């Protein structure tokens, strides 16, 4: 079995933001040379998440609206006494900081309406990382 690592680094510009990383992930799969296996997409952050869904501007806005409603950034969370981002930790824990995709015939398998996004919930951040690990042969 072969293992290939790639690290994506990016900056975020808003408190809440969805950043499409599909191109970078697919490039990594292509560069790995792996034909069949799986691709892990993992954000090593406690205040961000990884999701797969449609890249449509209205829907991206809807997602952010729902993420805010769900995580309640205005609520007086206890963690906010030391670090004003409890909502982002809760979002990261519940939405998940990783997604796994199949790799078949050298290509990442995803639905037509499944682009891959980093979900920023505690931006802006100068440096966010996303690790792409491709395993297979």
3-state secondary structure of 23: helix
Query: Which residue has the CB atom at the shortest distance from Zn ion?
Result: 83
Residue number with CB closer to Zn ion (106 or 124): 124
Binding to Zn ion by residue 7, rule CB under 5 A?
no
Structure tokens at 95: 């939405």
Q: In what order do the strands lie in the sheet with 107-108?
A: 2-10, 128-136, 37-42, 98-104, 107-108
Q: Choose between 90 and 116: whose C-beta lies nearer to Zn ion.
A: 90
| Identified binder of Zn ion from the candidate list 85, 103, 108, 121, rule CB under 5 A | 85
Query: Applying CB under 5 A, which of residues 83, 100, 106, 109 lies at the interface with Zn ion?
Result: 83
Residue ranges in contact with Zn ion by CB under 5 A: 83, 85
């Amino acid at each position: 079995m072969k293992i290939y690592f790639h690290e994506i680094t990016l900056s975020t510009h808003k408190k809440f933001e969805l950043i499409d990383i599909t191109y970078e992930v697919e490039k990594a799969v292509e560069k790995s040379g792996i034909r069949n296996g799986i691709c892990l997409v993992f954000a090593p952050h406690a205040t961000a998440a990884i999701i797969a869904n449609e890249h449509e501007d209205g829907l991206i806005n809807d997602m952010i609206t729902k993420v805010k409603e769900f995580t309640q950034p205005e609520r007086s969370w206890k963690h906010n006494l030391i670090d004003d981002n409890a909502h982002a930790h809760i979002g990261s824990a519940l939405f998940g900081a990783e997604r796994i995709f199949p790799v078949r015939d050298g290509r990442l398998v995803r639905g037509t309406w499944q682009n891959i996004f980093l979900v920023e919930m505690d931006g802006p951040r100068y440096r966010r990382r996303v690790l792409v690990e491709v395993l297979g042969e």
